[in-house]
Amino acid sequence: MKIAGLDIPDKVRSFYIESGISELYPPQIKAVEAGLLENRNLLAAVPTASGKTMIAELAMLKSIFEGGKCLYIVPLRALASEKFQRFKEFESIGVRAGISSGDFDSRDEWLAKTDIIVATSEKTDSLIRNGTAWMNDITVVVVDEIHLLDSPDRGPTLEVTIARLMQMNPDAQIIGLSATVGNAKDMAQWLDASLVESEWRPIELKEGVYFGSAIKFPDSQRIIEEKYPDDLLNLAADTINEGAQCLIFESSRRNAEGSAKRIGQKLGKMLDSQNLEELNVLAEQMLDTGETEITKKLSDCIRGGAAFHHAGLLSEQRKLIEDGFRKNMIKVLSSTPTLASGLNLPARRVIIRGFKRYDPNYGMVPIPVLEYKQMAGRAGRPGLDPYGESVLVVRSYDEMNLLLEQYVLSSAEDIWSKLGSENALRTHILSAVSTGVVRSREELMDFLERTFFAHQQDTWRLAAVVDDVLIFLKNNKMLVDSSDGLYPTRLGEVVSKLYIDPLSASIIVDGLRNLDTVNVTELTCLHLIYKTPDMRRLFLRSNDYSWLGDFVSQHSDQFVHPPSSSSADYEWFLSEVKTAMVLLDWISEIKEDDITSKFNIGPGDIRAQADNAEWLMHSTARISAHLESNYTSFINGLVERISYGASSELLPIIKIKGIGRVRARKLYNAGYKDIEAIRQAGYEIIAKIIGPKVAANTLRQLGVDINSDEVKNYKMKNTGNQNILEF
């Protein structure tokens, strides 16, 4: 089927044809035939790289040119940025794209002027809770990675958000984009959607298992030359010899870093001088992102044509790696499995090392077939590779045959709703009452009938859980059950709009009411938010118990309700304290490298903890103001300190763009403690403290006229006295 023959606006047709796309892929043809362009709901359960995004684009663009507005829901912020960049390309035909990435209590009303809004499911949920007006104007809802309904973490929010959108906008077209799953028909029935299923891919995918120098495929095998005593090195070398790239999935960060290091040390000699020169430039750019040990390790790997990728890295580091891999500079990328469900980074060969993952409840468990298929599906770059190849590395002959059957020759499992627990329902029941969607238990049960859970199971299974949640919300003064029905209290409204778990709110309320009984410090407030289920805590290591125990003893007067060392909760308490100490060091301006070494985490983990803690501390400040607590001002100050990672004395100057905690401290120690002092100091003085380039940018922000000759003259006079990276 040709683009030219589609019932779409002329501008849209021309856009695709001028982009080099003149014909549809088979799954796209099926989607059109199933009513995609006739406003019918549709579920596309097809493999990676088979044109799912374009299915959504065609429906969205047709609707926009008919006066519609579209919402594109993704599971991850990184994926939101990737899709936003793609949709910005439609500006050439007059389509405006926006991304909703503000705070969870913001409405992002400015997005009313855009045509396509990209948001995570959590952000979409918060926009609904906060009464965002433009949500009622949505005509097409696209849910990317809709199979994540099966996720215990993200699934319940995604499920309730879809149900709310279908209720709010009954005439909106719903398009679900899914991996191939066992019960796609169930999902399609829930969405009242036409189902498009296909195994078609634009290039062939060969799936096999590797053992004893051979890749065994279901119908053949391929011998790999054994140059090294390391299977991974041999597979990577074979890939590079073919002029291709490979993507390695490891079960842990440590393994991802280790394999990238080994490959970078050995295989750099296989690259040509031009490639090595490009890699050296990229390695220097990586060093500019920070002075931590992990940054140096990553830079060294890059010089050898390899890199690792995981959540412990800073976002700018991950972006450099992704761009380097897309541009074919980096030949081997070793990653944790999170990359498989996120960014579009295909490679000729995907190597999956280890088929088990650590589960905190069950130890090492085999990965689901769906997760394996998601990783394997990253193999092969359409238009660049003749085929894609996924290789599951095994340790024995018996394991080879077992895993060939268990993964390569198997289909993905059914997906199941994860909504049926008190933890999952607390926040969504409060939201449903706070926004006026329901006013009684009966209406609440009727609303839950719209969920995927209700489609799969009888809702009577939820009844007892719903009753327990309602009792909890009433006991904690977030709901009242009057003669007129269920209504939120002012506290309940605040908690719902803040987008935090009501259990977190109850813990915060209790903590705030008991602050007068302790010596209130930064540690007190940080520990309070780490007691909540909204914050992720660090695991304890064997050597943590002793020093943490000593620390707790020395600061025992600063904790609200500390358990005794013999209590069953004591180990959990130590984990809370340990994680709070990461943020305590962060706001005390301890060097990032010292923090990462002390707690065995990456710089990206510090930023992730800071982002979450900033939001929970902001929520604590809002609840504190509601309770008219005397500590609101102190808590508000902590919000800013967490945001910038600095002491309170630096706050007047650290907000200047490009300054950061290290340069702000240098300026403060040199006597420039506020914006006016910096403005009056003059270019040469500030340049000596924080470098000429940053000084020029800083002073221009403050309204000081700095001309390029002044910067050039300073550099000429001071070359040799400054760190070259400051220029």
Task: Give the residue-averaged pLDDT of 656-663.
Answer: 89
3 state DSSP class of 99: strand
pLDDT at position 726 over 80? no
Opening angle at CA 311, ends 310 and 314, nearest 5: 100
- Provide the percentage of residues in the chain whose pLDDT is more than 90: 81
C-alpha closest to that of 294 among 605, 73, 53, 76: 605
Task: Give the residue-averaged pLDDT of 217-231.
Answer: 93
Task: Give the residue-averaged pLDDT of 313-319.
Answer: 92
Amino acid 118: pLDDT:
97
Cβ distance 445 to 459 under 8 Å?
A: yes
Amino acid 110: pLDDT:
86
3 state DSSP class of 673: coil
Q: Which residues contact 565 (CB under 8 A, 6 or more apart)?
A: 549
Task: Give the residue-averaged pLDDT of 330-353.
Answer: 87
State pTM to two decimals: 0.91
Task: Give the residue-averaged pLDDT of 298-327.
Answer: 94
Q: How confident is the model at residue 658 (pLDDT cuts 50, 70, 90)?
A: confident
Domains of the chain from N-terminus onward: 3-197 (3.40.50.300), 204-408 (3.40.50.300), 422-498 (1.10.10.10), 502-645 (1.10.3380.30), 651-726 (1.10.150)
Q: Measured between alpha carbons, how far is 636 from 634 in angstroms, rounded to an integer? A: 6
How distant, in Å, are the alpha carbons of 211, 242, 345, 435, 603 from that of 221? 11, 17, 26, 59, 42
Amino acid 465: pLDDT:
94
Amino acid 719: pLDDT:
62
pLDDT at position 721 over 70? no
Amino acid 37: pLDDT:
98
Amino acid 107: pLDDT:
66
Residue range 102-119, pLDDT digits in tens = 666 666 788 999 999 999
Amino acid 90: pLDDT:
98
pLDDT at position 668 over 50? yes
Q: Which residues contact 641 (CB under 8 A, 6 or more apart)?
A: 522, 587, 647, 648, 651
pLDDT at position 346 over 90? no
Q: How confident is the model at residue 342 (pLDDT cuts 50, 70, 90)?
A: low
Amino acid 103: pLDDT:
65
pLDDT at position 238 over 90? yes
Q: How confident is the model at residue 362 (pLDDT cuts 50, 70, 90)?
A: confident
C-alpha closest to that of 467 among 453, 448, 451, 483: 448
pLDDT at position 55 over 60? yes
- Specify the higher pLDDT residue, 705 or 40: 40
Maximum Cα–Cα distance for the chain, whole Å?
80
Residue 126 CA, chain-centre distance (Å), reads 17
| Angle between helix 570-587 and 522-530 (nearest 10) | 130
Cβ distance 624 to 640 under 8 Å?
A: no
pLDDT at position 344 over 90? no
Task: Give the residue-averaged pLDDT of 540-554.
Answer: 95
Residue 638 CA, chain-centre distance (Å), reads 25
> How does the average pLDDT of the chain come out, rounded?
93
Q: Which of 102-116, 359-373, 530-544 has the lowest mean pLDDT?
A: 102-116
